[in-house]
Amino acid sequence: METPALIVDKDIFEANMDAMTSLLSGTTLKLRPHYKSNKCAAIARRQIEHGAVGITCAKLSEALDLCDAGIENILIANQITDGEKIFRVALLAKKCHLIICVDDKDNARALSAAAVSCGSTVYCYVEYEIGMRRCGIEDDEEYIETAELIRELPGLKYAGIQAYAGHVSHMVTEEERREHTEKEQQKIRALKEKLIEHGFPKDLDISGGSTGTAVIKAAGGLYTELQAGSYLFLDSTYGGLQNLPFKNSLYVLSTVVSVRGNRVMLDAGVKSIGVDQGMPAVLKLEGTPVRCSLVDANEEHVKLFDPDTELKNGEKVLLIPGHCCSTVNLYDKMYFVRGGKVVDRLEITARGCSR
């Protein structure tokens, strides 16, 4: 196989999918996996077949790709404020059950006008800020006012709370993740009670969560939807977390192109592996870790210094990406392997869908 190449251990991939199904079985939590992690329509369809209630995505272009693949229930877990995109959201809502996040009243009015003009219904999660310091309303009264406005506007339907705590996802110890999650859930429970007092239904959806908090949220009984995406693949960042029922299945296959003293150069650089959350871990093909005093990367090379294992020119190694989501977005296809042989190849249909 020519390198760099994106490969997936099919047995572990399927075991991760089964582990998530088992984790959520018998709980109030339903899976709405995030598309940004795999960007592959065929995988999204498999997740639906395994019981996911719908798919989460980050961008309108990803939602269009999902709809084109026949996914009927889509959440854009983001705000869309550009006028032309708002109109396209309203058009897309005629073809699927579309939910979008809102944290601004004027944005809600613009979405309403577009939905009315297109004759569609756009469902809205009002986003609640619980520590991510990104999007979302922090004040409870402002939140309720926004939700009430959406409830009144034609073409829109208030569908629930978006509450995503990405800052908790990679906390190493389960105790730390649990402590932060419990504090956030106290705020969300209080907001939910206020919404019920204002006539909103008791069974409103609360959507959020990630691979790192999946176990905690499954046991919490508050969230109704889990937006985990990385659970299928993991990466070297998630690999350091305690008590996750998932294993690494995603690798970049790379070739040694130069050995000079204590320096080994690989043919995979930042154009072929995501390093935004850390450098990759390095393995021999049989799975033995290659430990180095330093791993670094530039455009075309991953650089290994003082590896504890002899590596030779032309030898292939496996890299566990520091971040699976940004790595997948660099490839047109992924190869599924079993027993050292390629058994399938899937197109990454939403590669580069960043608008």
Residues 134-149 pLDDT 10s: 999 999 999 999 999 9
Q: Report the alpha-carbon distance of residue 199 to residue 203 in Å, rounded.
A: 12
Q: How confident is the model at residue 166 (pLDDT cuts 50, 70, 90)?
A: confident
What are the residues whose beta carbons fall under 8 Å from the beta carbon of 37, sequence distance 6 or more?
229, 230, 232, 233, 324, 325, 328
Q: How many residues does the chain have?
A: 355
Q: How confident is the model at residue 172 (pLDDT cuts 50, 70, 90)?
A: confident
Mean pLDDT for the stretch of residues 277-290: 96
pLDDT at res. 100: 98
pLDDT at res. 53: 98
Q: Report the alpha-carbon distance of residue 56 to residue 53 in Å, rounded.
A: 10
The string of pLDDT tens digits covering residues 61-83 is 999 999 999 999 999 999 999 99
Mean pLDDT for the stretch of residues 224-243: 94
Percentage above 90 pLDDT, the chain = 94
- Three-state DSSP at 110 gives helix
Q: How confident is the model at residue 151 (pLDDT cuts 50, 70, 90)?
A: very high
317-347 b/e (C-beta count within 10 Å ≥ 16 → b): bbbbbbbbbbbbbbbeebbbbeeeeeeeebe
Percentage above 70 pLDDT, the chain = 100
Confidence check: pLDDT of 48 > 90: yes
Q: Report the alpha-carbon distance of residue 350 to residue 354 in Å, rounded.
A: 9
The string of pLDDT tens digits covering residues 85-94 is 999 999 999 9
160-181 b/e (C-beta count within 10 Å ≥ 16 → b): bbbbbbeebbbbeebeebbebb
* 160, amino acid identity: G
Rg of the Cα atoms in the chain: 22
pTM: 0.95
Q: Report the alpha-carbon distance of residue 277 to residue 291 in Å, rounded.
A: 19
pLDDT at res. 130: 93
pLDDT at res. 142: 98
Mean pLDDT for the stretch of residues 196-218: 95
Angle CA(276)–CA(278)–CA(279) in degrees, nearest 5? Answer: 115
The string of pLDDT tens digits covering residues 112-137 is 999 999 999 999 999 999 988 899 99
Angle CA(77)–CA(78)–CA(82) in degrees, nearest 5? Answer: 145
Q: How confident is the model at residue 242 (pLDDT cuts 50, 70, 90)?
A: confident
pLDDT at res. 70: 97
Q: How confident is the model at residue 315 (pLDDT cuts 50, 70, 90)?
A: very high
Q: Report the alpha-carbon distance of residue 209 to residue 228 in Å, rounded.
A: 6
